[in-house]
């Protein structure tokens, strides 16, 4: 799939107009979750059906947010997340990671930043990609 | 009543009070307060110098009442009262005004805080002004001790108390003493055989001339107060005379009923008539009446027919035993959290997902597998094994929020036992953190990690799938950032520990509290770890919270020492600050008896309420409830409170 260029760490401030600290605060506000409650047991990653495709495992995303590592926002993990809530039902600390992922997506989506460029898809890709994948790209794009 | 010669002492408590309260101003203001003949402030009133200042002033100024404005009276009231008593002032004529917890620590404006400190100190002066001389009440007491729970903690406590020359009643609800320790294979970190170190203690407890052992028994009622508790114990019938039983096993051979065997954590079956385990004490078969086809009326009777020594008696009835005891030690231990709560691990559902205690039995040489580790489902050998830490622990969201403390170290031990017998076997341990807190435990666990090729994977398991001939464990290695899926033959869940079944009901029987997790609650988490808020009732071992064997044993001894503190007194004293009834005013309505949380007031035939001064704690609930004002608490009378209120609320003169 052709993607728009991955966001680089130094671009984050330019794109979002926020520091990593502000981003973490905003994520907590949007998701209603305390990312610092996570004690890194890894149960979310162990049960995540999409973890294989993620640059950072779900638990690593939370850790990156805790230490304000921009990698949280540059990794593909938030876009790969299928919002299946497997992580949320297992989390011993009650962190709804699916909501955190959604909040992270919102940080970008509210900037009207294209993550999947439909015009960039070839006919072959459109034929071969599962429809649900394309539709969910729309949703993420418009959300 | 004071003749108006009151001394006031204001404590700085270093900067604790001084920082927020101008203590010198408090002293100067109080100097001019009616009835006060002496006032001073000092760095630490509780220090020897501070106490001497109080003693000197009492003598020099002929004080007949003292107020110390300092920390909460629960900290140093006794200190100051002892000091005052040494120079002849009645100890109940000294009062403490709390200007630390109630003033300096909770306010941010020094001016306001100082004003409040002045008012609270004035109120205390008003109270002292009307305080009477009181004499402590002397109480006789019983010299026996009740110990509930016959695990290692209860055994230790019982033996310690008995060795000090006091009679002990040791009550155990199971047919044998020994507790969970009797089930263990070896103990960490020394790898001692658990039974080898436990059974001598069990024998010592059972043979001790001062210990009366009541197994298969439960305490059903407790009444009384420190030094004078009356306990009722119900002893279930075992239907077997332990003195006659010669352990021939003929009864069990003919018994037609098989049920799951508790001692082997359900991994084997036992008969309705059975020996709890080889080294059981009392050493006797027991007829489990719930499993038996029936003794009343008799429906089978085969065991009695084959018993050569006539030990079986179907007419045995429950016994109710009543004992008077001076002190009580509760050591009722733990159970494992129910694994069927862990549905994602197939706990209680997949036969090859076992608990840590089941694993102890599986590797035990005299366990259900005779030490030859096999899969419970199909009996095949175990070559690949996974251990899962924190199964139910550290999970505030769905299970138990606390750390169970022992699992990290026993899992290392269990992995070592597996590797010792399966040198080519693969052992994986899924952990979150490794918490091996205890003398030699860290070295023990690290040595196993370093030398035994046990795979330690830092990540909690999300799911276990039973694939028939193997189990698949879904985990994550949070250090490398990789998901992990491994196939194993057996999974051992390091289950959370929980208070033993019935702990909460038992706590109610003994009028003590449990904490938010159901463990027995100590009076103070740091300084009174084996005491409860009910005087004379002590707690020890796992019942108080997760702990290992040495900590449990230490608490058993600690509780014994606290119990002996009571048993060894010639007589106990009770505070004289108790309720008293004005017979002229009492109408005998009985409102006070319902208000009293201690059952300390009864309306006698004469129609007058009478206070049992020993049960009374001086809480004042009766005084507040009494419609005629007939009841008052000594030195906490209504006139005193009216004067105190006026002193707190009144304008400055």
- Residue A82 domain flag: yes
pLDDT of residue A15: 81
Confirm or reject contact between A76 and chain B (CB < 8 A): no
Residue B213 above 90 pLDDT?
yes
Confirm or reject contact between B392 and chain A (CB < 8 A): no
Say whether B462 and A57 touch across the interface (CB within 8 A): no
- Residue A21 domain flag: yes
Q: Please give the radius of gyration of chain B, using alpha carbons only, rounded to the nearest integer.
A: 31
Q: Where residue A76 sits, what CATH number does that domain have? A: 1.10.1060.10
ipTM over 0.95: no
Position B444 confidence tier, pLDDT thresholds 50, 70, 90: very high
CA distances from B602 to B137, B509, B591 (A): 19, 22, 10
Question: Which residues are bridge partners to B472 per DSSP?
Answer: B465, B487
What residues have CB less than 8 Å from B600, skipping those under 6 apart?
A: B579, B611, B612, B613, B615, B616, B617
Quick one: which H or E segment has residue B391?
strand B384-391
Q: Which domain holds residue A19?
A: 11-112
Give tens-digit pLDDT for B553-597.
999 999 999 999 999 999 998 899 999 999 999 999 999 999 998
- Residue A118 domain flag: no
Higher pLDDT, A137 or B109: B109
Q: Count of domains in chain A?
A: 1
- Residue A133 domain flag: no
- Residue A99 domain flag: yes
Provide φ and ψ at B519, rounded to 5°: -80, 150
B528: which DSSP letter?
Answer: B
How many beta carbons lie within 10 A of that of residue A7, not counting itself? 18
B interface test, pick of A43, A44, A51 with most B CB neighbours within 10 Å: A43
Mean pLDDT over the full length of chain B: 95
pLDDT of residue A143: 39
B interface test, pick of A37, A46, A80 with most B CB neighbours within 10 Å: A46
- Residue of A46, A59, A91 lying closest to B397 (CB–CB): A91
Determine contact, residues B64/B2, Cβ cutoff 8 Å. Answer: yes
- Residue A123 domain flag: no
Give tens-digit pLDDT for A92-139.
999 999 999 999 999 988 876 665 677 788 888 888 888 777 776 665
- Residue A93 domain flag: yes
CB neighbour class for B60 (10 Å; exposed up to 12, middle 13-18, buried from 19): exposed
Q: Domains, chain B, ranges and CATH?
A: 6-136 (3.40.50), 145-232+322-333+502-567 (3.50.50.60), 250-306 (no CATH), 336-498 (3.50.50.60), 578-633 (3.30.70.20)
- Residue A27 domain flag: yes
pLDDT of residue A112: 66
């Amino acid at each position: 799939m052709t993607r728009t260029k991955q966001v680089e760490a130094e671009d984050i401030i330019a794109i979002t107009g926020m520091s990593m600290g502000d981003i973490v605060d905003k994520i907590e506000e949007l998701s209603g979750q305390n990312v610092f409650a996570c004690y890194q047991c890894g149960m979310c990653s162990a049960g995540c059906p999409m973890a294989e495709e993620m640059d950072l495992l779900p638990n690593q995303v939370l850790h990156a947010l805790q230490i304000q590592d921009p990698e949280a926002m540059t990794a593909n993990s938030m876009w790969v997340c299928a919002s299946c809530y497997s992580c949320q039902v297992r989390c011993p600390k009650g962190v709804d990671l699916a909501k955190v992922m959604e909040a992270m997506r919102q940080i970008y989506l509210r900037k009207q930043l294209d993550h999947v460029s439909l015009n960039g898809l070839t006919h072959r890709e459109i034929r071969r990609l599962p429809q649900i994948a394309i539709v969910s790209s729309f949703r993420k794009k418009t959300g | 009543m004071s003749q108006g010669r009151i001394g006031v002492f204001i404590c700085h408590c270093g900067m604790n009070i001084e920082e927020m309260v101008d203590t010198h101003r408090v002293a100067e203001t109080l100097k001019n307060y009616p009835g006060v003949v002496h006032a001073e402030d000092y760095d630490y009133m509780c220090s020897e110098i501070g106490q001497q200042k109080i003693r000197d002033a009492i003598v020099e100024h002929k004080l007949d009442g003292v107020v110390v404005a300092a920390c909460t009276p629960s900290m140093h009231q006794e200190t100051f009262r002892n000091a005052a008593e040494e120079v002849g002032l009645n100890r109940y004529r000294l009062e403490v005004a709390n200007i630390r917890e109630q003033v300096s620590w909770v306010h941010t404006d020094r001016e306001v805080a100082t004003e409040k400190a002045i008012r609270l100190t004035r109120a205390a002066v008003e109270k002292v002004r009307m305080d009477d001389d009181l004499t402590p009440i002397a109480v006789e007491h019983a010299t026996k001790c009740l110990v509930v729970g016959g695990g290692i903690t209860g055994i230790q406590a019982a033996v310690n108390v008995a060795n000090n020359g006091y009679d002990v009643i040791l009550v155990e609800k199971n047919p044998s003493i020994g507790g969970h320790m009797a089930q263990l294979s070896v103990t960490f970190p020394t790898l001692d055989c658990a039974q080898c170190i436990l059974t001598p203690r069990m024998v010592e407890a059972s043979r001790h001339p001062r210990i009366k052992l009541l197994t298969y028994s439960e305490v059903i009622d407790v009444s009384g107060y420190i030094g004078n508790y009356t306990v009722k114990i119900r002893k279930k019938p075992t239907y077997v005379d332990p003195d006659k039983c010669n352990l021939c096993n003929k009864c069990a051979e003919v018994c037609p009923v098989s049920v799951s065997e508790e001692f082997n954590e359900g991994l084997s079956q036992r008969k309705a008539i059975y020996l709890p385990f080889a080294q059981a004490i009392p050493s006797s078969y027991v007829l489990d009446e719930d499993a038996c086809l029936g003794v009343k009326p008799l429906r089978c009777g085969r065991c009695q027919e084959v018993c050569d020594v006539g030990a079986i008696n179907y007419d045995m009835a429950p016994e109710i035993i009543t004992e008077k005891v001076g002190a009580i030690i509760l050591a009722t231990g733990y159970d494992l959290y129910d694994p069927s709560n862990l549905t994602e691990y197939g706990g209680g559902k997949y036969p090859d997902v076992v608990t840590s205690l089941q694993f102890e039995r599986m590797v035990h040489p005299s366990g259900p597998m005779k030490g030859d580790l096999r899969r419970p489902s199909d009996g095949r050998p175990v070559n690949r094994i996974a251990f899962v830490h924190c199964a139910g622990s550290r999970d505030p969201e769905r299970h138990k929020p606390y750390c169970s403390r022992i699992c990290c170290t026993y899992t290392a031990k269990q992995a070592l036992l597996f590797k010792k017998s399966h040198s080519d076997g693969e052992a994986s341990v899924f952990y979150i953190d490794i918490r091996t807190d205890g003398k030699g435990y860290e070295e023990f666990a690290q040595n196993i990690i370093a030398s035994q090729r046990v795979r330690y994977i830092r990540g909690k398991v999300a799911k276990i799938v039973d694939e028939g001939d193997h189990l698949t464990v879904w985990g994550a290695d949070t250090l490398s950032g990789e998901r992990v899926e491994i196939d194993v033959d057996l999974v051992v869940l390091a289950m959370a520990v929980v208070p033993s079944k019935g702990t909460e009901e038992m706590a109610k029987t003994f009028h003590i509290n449990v904490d938010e997790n159901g463990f027995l609650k100590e009076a103070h988490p740091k300084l009174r770890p084996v005491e409860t808020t009910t005087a004379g009732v002590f707690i020890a071992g796992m019942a108080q919270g997760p702990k290992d064997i040495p900590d449990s044993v230490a608490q058993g001894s600690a509780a014994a020492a606290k119990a002996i503190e009571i048993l060894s007194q010639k007589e106990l004293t009770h505070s004289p600050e108790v309720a008293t009834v004005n017979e002229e005013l009492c109408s005998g309505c009985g409102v006070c008896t319902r208000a009293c949380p201690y059952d300390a007031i009864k309306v006698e035939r004469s129609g007058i309420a009478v206070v049992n001064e020993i049960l009374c704690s001086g809480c004042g609930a009766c005084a507040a409830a009494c419609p005629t004002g007939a009841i008052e608490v000594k030195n906490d009378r209504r006139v005193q409170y009216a004067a105190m209120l006026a002193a707190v609320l009144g304008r400055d003169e």
